[in-house]
Structure 1
Amino acid sequence: MDAANSYLQGTFIPNYWDKNITVQSKTISSAFKPLPPELDLNAICVQKEYRTIRRDHTFSFDNKMYVIDSPIRYSIENQKVEIRCQFDGTFSAYFGHRRLDITELVEPRKTHEYGMEVQRKIEAVELAQQLGNIAKAARIIGCSRQSIYTYQQVLETEGAIGLKRINKPLKRSKNSIPESTENKIIELTLKDPHTNALQLMKSLKQEHDISVSSSTIQNIWKREQLNTKALRLKRSQALNIDV
């Protein structure tokens, strides 16, 4: 490498490049023109990627989940958000020509010591604190604002143990399935997130002697935000469950 640089600087450039290639300019003034003020190179010199917006106005990028904070009067579900990646590693999200305000959603790494039910309630409280907006957190989690207010109050007065269903029983419809059955459905779902509702229904009957319909399983999945394979895999990975 040293010999090549020495040849380039001492022989090639002075004896060939300067004599045969270099051209004297006709004027000493610079030929560079300033950029127009309305031209933003940071919006042009970027790598663009696209992600699909979900029903709750969230999207995934670089193995992380983000929620759109910008006020939008209508649903943009299934639309494409444009991710503009800068060379310094930062990125910004655009919908059309509008830059969006976004917040990263942090998933818990392991199940709370008091179980998944307590974990979901704590997640709701933490998300509300993170976003600073209980209504938005309730929409993302899939519960009512009053539920989050209740969870906050119980956490402050009794701690996480107060959120356990055994101490705070929920009002359940007479026609609803037993709580133990619902917990078993969630448990088996997270252990095998690739299974569909029909396969899980057969497994519950054959291995656990539990009779439920596939539509009941789908309703539980929808309520627990597990109604797609991607959501089930994501929840399993967040809880460090071997699948």
Structure 2
Amino acid sequence: MRTLLPLLFLSLAFLACESKQSGDISSSEVPVANAQTIVDRAIEVHGGERFENLEMAFRFRDREYTAKREDGQYTYTRAFTDTLGQVKDVLTNSGFSRTINGKRQSLPAERVKAFTASVNSVIYFALLPFGLNDPAVQKQLLGTVTIKGIPYHKIKVTFKQDGGGEDFQDEFLYWMNQEKGTMDYLAYTYATEGGGIRFRKAINPKVIQGIRFQDYINYEPAGNNFLEIEKDFEAGNLKELSRIELQDIKVRAR
């Protein structure tokens, strides 16, 4: 799974906010399409500068997440209760720590790496397409494809080893709606736990404090046709594995 590159984002103090209409940018306002302008437009449509300094909280699979980003400083937390007690993970610019019932835990390096990746990946996906302009991101426009009768720009993303995190060899595909500018589908490869490919369809879009959040249907392909996986989706050849659903989202954008 992709870890959040230099891990930019969000934290505590939350306000419940009403959804409002997304400010989709008219296709007539988009310059000649290239990977950078397409990604810039998608980020703007999904929230733009509101991502830069904000506080948020949400629940995902019975775990509570908070995130804060301010002037390049970030704090992410994850809290849950298990058989050991109340667990709290905290990730900042300085590193990762875990407490259980308020007591700091000493963890081996491999567990720190795994917990860091787990917290980062949840927030990374929650805030996409923000993060796609990170310096380690390498973007390539693969062309135009049609999915369910709608034309999309298809973007391939790879990562530089320098600044690309532990999973820099992962590859991503993004499908940006040509008319609305929204990121409606994504796919990625991953090497952890034996590796594999996933394809996600965005559902249930909602705009809170000017930021667009989306849930996803998570699919697994039968084969390895990553670069043209949208064809397998169109043909109904992908198996639904799970739903990625954020609950009780609260945001305070600045």
> If the TM-score is normalised by the length of the shorter chain, which range does it land in?
under 0.3
| Structure showing greater relative contact order (alpha-carbon pairs closer than 8 Å, 6 or more residues apart) | 2
Higher helix share: 1
**Structure exhibiting the larger radius of gyration computed from Cα positions:** 1
Higher strand share: 2
